[in-house]
């Protein structure tokens, strides 16, 4: 049992490389560095946001920590135990404690199963209840996520996108998890529905003591739910901080550029959009030194030669950038927003 001040999950130097095959005999022709040395922790009742452009490696991290894929190197500790060293029975128990909510509720719900079967499936697999007790539990779960018991016999196509996501949440809750990986859970929904689902997730966190890894590319959504936020670029975390600190004083040039595109709800704050040049390079052949240097407006010769180490700035904030090493340099320290 994890105490409130201990980490529920700890990810240490996680790497996931995919072999690249080519040629007549499909020989190994290189590797895709999808995740390249990622470390973070998640505490009880905490939401860690994981943000970055498409292709930055967020979903590969999610698949690894759910043990849906193997890893190349590193460790994933859940409640103090390495999940890649668990035997079959312990792995089955882990599946209960670690759940997932997917981006597209339409694709993640079996169209041939009724709501009762979808939500009840894991209850049966984990032998949590049977007969009337199981049905009662399913009805309770539906009510918790804001759906009526009348929906038990209906099928996914009969629901709206928001309702389908609520069914997905009820399915995840059915086995009393501790940590839920939310992989872009609201990006397929309308803005008004997004707010409802975010509020529901926050309520459930308070009520059941849940932790979330919340993966998203929409930074305004992450702002509403995350306690801390990690920023990924080309398979690496480049900055991690508490939400308020990251949104008001980002220290990595990539974070600064990402956040410059987020609207600030204050008409008195002038916002200057930073447009990055070029596209994210391929993880098959990443740039030398700092992976961000071909796009970075502040790049210096050292950035092409040496990968920046992670620097602890205090206050649960760290960044990996050579610029920070220069005494007194701060990319941004505005209190109320960027580029005022
Ligand atoms: Fe830019 Fe250099 Fe910092 Fe990389 S290390 S983000 S290239 S300033």
Task: Encode pLDDT of 69-101 as tens digits.
Answer: 999 999 999 999 999 999 999 999 999 999 999
Q: What pLDDT is stored for residue 298 in this prediction?
A: 92
Given a cut of 80, is residue 319 above it in pLDDT?
yes
Given a cut of 90, is residue 178 above it in pLDDT?
yes
What is the 237 CA–ligand 1 centroid distance (Å)?
A: 13
Q: 151 CB contacts (<8 Å, ≥6 apart)?
A: 115, 142, 159
In-domain check, residue 304: yes
In-domain check, residue 312: yes
250 lines ligand 1 (CB under 6 A): no
In-domain check, residue 331: yes
Q: Which residue's C-alpha comes closest to atom 7 of ligand 1?
A: 293
In-domain check, residue 195: no
Burial class, 13, CB count within 10 angstroms (exposed 0-12 / middle 13-18 / buried 19+): exposed
Domain count across the chain: 1
Q: What pLDDT is stored for residue 325 in this prediction?
A: 57
Reported confidence tier of residue 1, pLDDT bands at 50, 70, 90: low
For residues 239-258, average pLDDT:
94
The share of the chain scoring above pLDDT 70, in percent, equals: 90
CATH number for the domain harbouring residue 335: 3.40.50.300
Range with the lowest mean pLDDT among 270-274, 314-318, 329-333?
329-333
Given a cut of 70, is residue 245 above it in pLDDT?
yes
Given a cut of 70, is residue 21 above it in pLDDT?
yes
What is the 254 CA–ligand 1 centroid distance (Å)?
A: 9
293 lines ligand 1 (CB under 6 A): yes
d(CA 291, CA 299): 11
In-domain check, residue 309: yes
322 lines ligand 1 (CB under 6 A): yes
In-domain check, residue 210: no
The share of the chain scoring above pLDDT 90, in percent, equals: 72
What is the 253 CA–ligand 1 centroid distance (Å)?
A: 7
Reported confidence tier of residue 273, pLDDT bands at 50, 70, 90: confident
In-domain check, residue 67: no
Given a cut of 60, is residue 41 above it in pLDDT?
yes
Q: What is the mean pLDDT of the chain?
A: 89
Q: Which domain holds residue 234?
A: 227-340
Given a cut of 50, is residue 137 above it in pLDDT?
yes
Q: Can you point out the beta strands (E) in 153-234?
A: 179-183, 211-216, 228-233
Reported confidence tier of residue 12, pLDDT bands at 50, 70, 90: very high
Q: What pLDDT is stored for residue 202 in this prediction?
A: 97
Range with the lowest mean pLDDT among 32-36, 145-149, 217-221, 332-336?
332-336
Given a cut of 90, is residue 28 above it in pLDDT?
no
Burial class, 302, CB count within 10 angstroms (exposed 0-12 / middle 13-18 / buried 19+): middle
Contact in structure between 246 and 315 (CB atoms under 8 Å)? no
pLDDT digits (tens, 9 = 90+) for 185-218: 998 888 889 999 999 999 999 999 999 999 998 8
What is the 308 CA–ligand 1 centroid distance (Å)?
A: 8
Helix (H) or strand (E) holding 74: strand 73-78
For residues 16-34, average pLDDT:
80
Residue bearing the bigger pLDDT, 232 or 333 = 232
Q: What pLDDT is stored for residue 337 in this prediction?
A: 38
Structure tokens at 243: 């939400």
> Tokens 């890894």 label which residue?
213
257 lines ligand 1 (CB under 6 A): no
In-domain check, residue 241: yes
Q: Which atom of ligand 1 is nearest to the CA of 304?
A: 7
């Amino acid at each position: 049992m994890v105490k409130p001040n201990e980490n529920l999950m700890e990810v240490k130097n996680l790497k996931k490389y995919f072999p690249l095959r080519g040629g007549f005999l499909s020989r190994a022709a290189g590797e895709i560095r999808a995740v390249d040395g990622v470390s973070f922790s998640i505490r009880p009742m905490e939401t860690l946001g994981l943000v970055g452009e498409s292709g930055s490696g967020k979903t590969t991290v999610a698949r690894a920590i759910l043990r849906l894929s193997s890893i190349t190197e590193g460790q994933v500790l859940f409640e103090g135990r390495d999940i890649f060293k668990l035997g079959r029975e312990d792995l089955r128990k882990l599946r209960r404690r670690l759940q997932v909510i997917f981006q597209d509720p339409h694709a993640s719900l079996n169209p041939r199963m009724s709501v009762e079967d979808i939500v009840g499936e894991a209850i049966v697999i984990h032998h949590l209840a049977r007969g009337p007790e199981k049905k009662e539990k399913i009805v309770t779960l539906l009510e918790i996520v804001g759906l009526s018991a009348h929906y038990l016999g209906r099928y996914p196509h009969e629901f709206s996108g928001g309702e389908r996501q609520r069914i997905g949440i009820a399915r995840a809750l059915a086995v009393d998890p501790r940590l839920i990986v939310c992989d872009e859970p609201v990006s397929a929904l309308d803005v008004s529905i997004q707010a409802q689902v975010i509020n529901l997730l926050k309520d459930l966190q308070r009520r059941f003591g849940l932790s979330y890894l919340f993966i998203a590319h929409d930074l305004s959504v992450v702002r509403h739910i995350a306690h801390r936020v990690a920023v990924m670029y080309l398979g690496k975390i480049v900055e991690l901080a508490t939400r308020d600190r990251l949104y008001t004083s980002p220290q990595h040039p990539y974070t600064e550029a990402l956040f410059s595109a987020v609207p600030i709800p204050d008409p008195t704050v002038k916002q200057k959009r930073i447009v990055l040049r070029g596209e994210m390079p391929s993880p098959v052949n990443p740039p030398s030194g700092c992976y961000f240097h071909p796009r970075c407006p502040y790049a210096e010769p050292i950035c092409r030669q040496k990968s920046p180490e992670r620097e602890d700035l205090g206050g649960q904030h760290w960044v990996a950038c050579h610029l920070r090493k220069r005494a007194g340099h701060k990319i941004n320290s505005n209190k109320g927003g960027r580029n005022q």
